Structure 1
């Protein structure tokens, strides 16, 4: 097994700690402003960006960080709150889609300014333009590496 260097471990810990702090602050801001939490926002934005504003539930689950049971509970809650609806697949009749409702889009749009301000305040304002390019390149390199190493 290849050894993790002290520098690699420090970079990893820095990434994890910074991520946790930024997310916690943005969550606090969203809560204070009575906006949807980030887990809800993540589902709503995934649906908003999808063709027809809908995704098969299994595809939505693969885009989320939550466990399968966690995403199921979240989808149940979002449907109860009127932010999404479930619809049967028109192609095969077996699969289910999560579909963004008008209210879901409205809540997404209400949350975005708070979220965007948090990104700027807690993340981007700490970085120079060169740092932003470096972080972007590093995250893309990691994403490509993981994608190439992951079984499809």
Structure 2
């Protein structure tokens, strides 16, 4: 086996900055959402995906793929959101194995309450501290990395 191509100083600086920023940002966003509306960051993203979907509903498999989450992990989160009255499940009429998750009116109202504070914190912690050029570089670079990690069909492998 050949020796690995080690990261040079600038590559290591970029990698460490990415890891730290990603972890800190997710932690801060998660805490803000829990404090303000009682949702985790992942639960908020589930509600966002459902709100953007046609009919405010998605098949569970599609929702898991869009969130880059496992089906079992998503099932747990949907159960929690369902207990809170924020989503409900419905059987798929064209595939007996399929299940839809759908946003309830209560879920939409909570999302509308949560969104302004969430967006303000995203701006404060990330968007407004970067120049337009830095934002473009991040979007282009991380977008390309994501595209290369996703399979050709665009559906992510389940997280194990």
**Shorter-normalised TM range:** 0.7 to 0.9
> After alignment, is 10-19 or 80-89 more displaced?
10-19
Aligned residue for 2:97, secondary structure, equals coil
Question: Counterpart of 1:64?
Answer: 67
Aligned residue for 1:18, secondary structure, equals helix
Question: Counterpart of 1:93?
Answer: 96
Over the aligned positions, Cα root-mean-square deviation in angstroms equals 1.9
Question: Counterpart of 1:5?
Answer: 7
Instruction: Pick one of 71, 76, 81 that aligns with 1:73.
Output: 76
Question: Counterpart of 1:49?
Answer: 52
Are 2:36 and 1:36 aligned? no
Instruction: Spell out structure 1 runs of 4+ moving beyond 4 A.
Output: none
User: Which stretches in structure 1 are left out of the alignment for 5+ residues?
Assistant: none
Q: How many residues align?
A: 150
Aligned residue for 2:88, secondary structure, equals strand
Structure 1 residue 144 displacement after superposition: 2.4
> After alignment, is 98-107 or 63-72 more displaced?
63-72
Question: Counterpart of 2:106?
Answer: 103
Structure 1 residues 140 and 65, CA gap change in structure 2 (3 angstroms):
closer
Distance (Å, rounded) in 1 between the aligned partners of 2:34 and 2:92: 35
Question: Counterpart of 1:82?
Answer: 85
Q: TM-score, normalised by structure 1?
A: 0.87
User: Which stretches in structure 2 are left out of the alignment for 5+ residues?
Assistant: 154-160
